[in-house]
Amino acid sequence: MRPCGVEARLVVMEHHPSAPLLDERRRALLDELARVDGELRTVREAKTDGTDDDEHDPEGATMSTQWSHATGLRSAVVLQLEEVDGALARIAAGTYGTCTRCGRPISAGRLEARPSAPLCIDCARGTTG
């Protein structure tokens, strides 16, 4: 008996060559997100503990600099996580490897270099679509 519906999508995801890479990348990004969130909590606590001295460590970065760096890093991690989740959704839908803009196939080399790529190289460069 062949799987259908949701079961068929799960079978496709389990056997798609890019799925393990994307799953591994997703786990790494979630770990990084947890680390950055911990860093943000630490800076937030340091700023609210009554010490308003932004130059808490003359040899190190200021709390404002640490906060700015961590929030920027968090935004980048969230964006990458969204890209990976999008790729996993395309695998489940059976559209992985097809450019989301022009509908042409994404080259194997591009997918090997960037498994979460939603666009073919031409669309990513802005030369088509």
The tens digit of pLDDT for each residue in 7-51 reads 444 444 556 889 999 999 999 999 999 999 999 999 999 878 765
The pLDDT value recorded for residue 4 is 45
Mean pLDDT confidence for 90-119: 96
CB 13 within 8 A of CB 26: no
Q: What is the pLDDT of residues 43-82, one digit of tens each?
A: 999 878 765 555 555 666 788 899 999 999 999 999 999 9
Reading the block at residue 1, the tokens are: 């008996």
pLDDT for res 56: 54
Residue 112 pLDDT more than 90? yes
Distance CA 74, CA 68 (A): 10
Question: What residues contact 6, with CB distance under 8 A and at least 6 apart?
Answer: none
Give the Cβ contact number of residue 67 at 10 Å.
Answer: 18
Domain boundaries, the chain: 6-96, 97-129
Q: What is the mean pLDDT of residues 81-109?
A: 96
Q: In angstroms, rounded to a whole number, what is the distance separating the alpha carbons of residues 18 and 113? A: 11
Q: Which residue has the tokens 């991690």?
A: 77
What are the Cα distances from residue 28, in Å, to 35, 84, 87?
Answer: 11, 11, 16
At residue 46, the pLDDT reads 85
